[in-house]
Structure 1
Amino acid sequence: MVALTDAAPKRQISSRRSSTKDATARRRMLTLNLVSVAAGVLLWWALSAAGLRLPSPVEVAVRGWELLIDGTLISDLVASLTRVLVGFALGTLVAIPVGFLMGWYAWTRGLFEPWIQFFRTIPPLAIIPLAIVLLGIGEEPKILVIFLAAFFACVISTFQGVVTIDRTLINAARVLGAKDAGIFLRVVVPASVPFILVGMRVGLGAAWATLVAAELIAAQAGLGYRMQQAQLYYDLPTIFVGLITIGILGLLMDRALLFAEKKLTGWQERR
């Protein structure tokens, strides 16, 4: 009884120390992030002041405020964000079951893998002419190009997550009497979640990277469209506003996925 009584306070002390270390590490990382951002802005300012053909941070901020006040930035942001979210969501929703099927059933892998590997090597941007011919110049071809960029990144990661599961876990579940459905739901799916989330993060980056080219397809609004119009008039501040907005949105969405990853994979050991 004495040993058990002494063990509880020790565990509490250890837990408090661990949480203190985690909080200190988060503060240190946040400080490094802020220093890095400040250094980047100062370097940008110095290059602009040195005569390089770059707008200064002040010029970009003023232009961004003008676009925000007249509603242009909001309408462009909504248009681009809608395309990215729809294309990314559809790509992920299709990629996850396809990746699971390919990893779990050999016959499915034999049917799907050649086509996925074939089309994966074709840049989504190369699909634009075909998309225009087949789907016209509305929203569908834009979303299709973004869908493909997200799909191929996520399906490969999901497939890899299934095929790299430790066979010992599956064999142990079979010994304990688990059926295939139970093994799939209780072993395969949880073990694949980290791979799926990594694939989603890569797919999200690919979706944003494809956005500007997707908005070449007769867009009337969007961050990529606005940057292309600004290019015609050598409007560098507007181009920078578009670049920074895309970067901030992509960063925020990536942080959201990273937060979800930490919550869903808390059982994983981390460095």
Structure 2
Amino acid sequence: MLVVAFWLAVWQVAALAVGQRLLLPAPAEVGGRFVELVVEPSFWTTVARSLVRVAAGFVAGTLLGTLLAVAAATWRTVRTLASPVVGAVRAAPVVSFIILVLVWVDTDRLAVVVSALMVLPVTYAAVLEGIGQRDPAMLEVAVVFRVPRRRRLLAIDVPAVLPFFAAACRVGVGLAWKSGIAAEVIGLPAGTVGERLYDAKLLLLIADVFVWTAVVVALSLAAERLVAATLRRLPSAQPDHPEVAP
């Protein structure tokens, strides 16, 4: 709480120093505007629309990245063909993909597709690395004793991959929110957080810009904590989680 109070004080001093509400509104003004917005039914409808789109993109990207990584680990041809495409998606600016995807899909699905594209490379790289870190001795024992595929999967494959998968999910949920809201700001699907942000900027409602930005940050942090709490329930995800770069 002391840290929050400190930065609120810094914000207040900066707002007084600037002396222009259009450039930097005071914390009290932004807080008052938040109270006004949060009691409106349209506020929660807007948040729900964006939440569903970003969550769908995160889930889709995670599933596709995992499946592609499994296929790449199984077949060398798939890995050779997928590597440059995944590398290009990882390296290219988010805005470039938003514009390209906007040519191919309607604005209602834009955030879903873009979020999935941003999450996919992170999940792919992490799961592929996890598969490569399996214990060769355990795999050899499984072959020698003809351990059924399902039992080997649960006893060897999943425990090896899960810490990498967990790390990828923590990174991916943040990427999904950043890219999904950016896609909404550019595509402007009706009734979304991105549209409200764009309208607030266009009408110079800077307090609203602060409010909606804070909403996005809060939702992203909440989603990250939810994912982390879910993963903590999985025993194999507990030991030293590797870091996965976005």
TM-score (norm 1): 0.78
Residue 236 of structure 1 aligns with an amino acid whose one-letter code is: I
1:102-160 residue CA offsets vs partner (Å, 9 max, x unmatched)? 2344343223223222333223421233323222x331233211111121221111111
Q: Which has the larger radius of gyration?
A: 1
CA distance in 2, matches of 1:95, 1:267: 18
Q: Is structure 2 residue 158 aligned with structure 1 residue 192?
A: no
CA-CA distance at 1:79 after TM superposition:
1.6
- Structure 1: which 5+ runs fail to align? 1-33
CA-CA distance at 1:78 after TM superposition:
1.2
Identity of aligned residues (%): 26
Flag the 1:156–1:260 CA change in 2: closer, same or farther, 3 A: same
Q: Is structure 2 residue 191 aligned with structure 1 residue 221?
A: yes
CA distance in 1, matches of 2:141, 2:135: 10
Which residue of structure 1 lines up, in the alignment, with residue 244 of structure 2?
Answer: none
Residue 144 of structure 1 aligns with an amino acid whose one-letter code is: V
* 2:129 corresponds to which of 160, 168, 176: 160
After TM superposition, the structure 1 stretch with the greater mean CA deviation from structure 2, 223-232 or 161-170, is: 161-170
Flag the 1:117–1:258 CA change in 2: closer, same or farther, 3 A: same
CA distance in 1, matches of 2:80, 2:231: 30
Which residue of structure 2 lines up, in the alignment, with residue 96 of structure 1?
Answer: 66
Q: Is structure 2 residue 139 aligned with structure 1 residue 170?
A: yes
CA distance in 2, matches of 1:163, 1:100: 11
Which residue of structure 2 lines up, in the alignment, with residue 146 of structure 1?
Answer: 115
8 Å contact kept, 2:73–2:131: yes
Partner SS for 2:18: coil
Q: Is structure 2 residue 40 aligned with structure 1 residue 70?
A: yes
CA-CA distance at 1:64 after TM superposition:
1.0
1:40-79 correspondence runs (5 A) = 40-51=7-18, 53-79=23-49
Residue 160 of structure 1 aligns with an amino acid whose one-letter code is: E
CA-CA distance at 1:43 after TM superposition:
2.4
Flag the 1:146–1:225 CA change in 2: closer, same or farther, 3 A: same
1:249-260 correspondence runs (5 A) = 249-260=219-230
Which residue of structure 2 lines up, in the alignment, with residue 128 of structure 1?
Answer: 98
Flag the 1:270–1:162 CA change in 2: closer, same or farther, 3 A: closer
Flag the 1:265–1:41 CA change in 2: closer, same or farther, 3 A: farther
CA distance in 2, matches of 1:189, 1:174: 17
8 Å contact kept, 2:130–2:161: yes
After TM superposition, the structure 1 stretch with the greater mean CA deviation from structure 2, 250-259 or 105-114, is: 105-114
Greater relative contact order (Cα 8 A, min sep 6): structure 1 or 2?
Answer: 2
Which residue of structure 2 lines up, in the alignment, with residue 204 of structure 1?
Answer: 173
1:187-228 residue CA offsets vs partner (Å, 9 max, x unmatched)? 111211111121112111111111232112132222221111
Which residue of structure 2 lines up, in the alignment, with residue 13 of structure 1?
Answer: none
Which residue of structure 2 lines up, in the alignment, with residue 83 of structure 1?
Answer: 53
Which residue of structure 2 lines up, in the alignment, with residue 15 of structure 1?
Answer: none
CA distance in 2, matches of 1:249, 1:171: 45
Partner SS for 1:178: coil
TM-score (norm 2): 0.85
Q: Is structure 2 residue 233 aligned with structure 1 residue 263?
A: yes
Flag the 1:269–1:89 CA change in 2: closer, same or farther, 3 A: closer
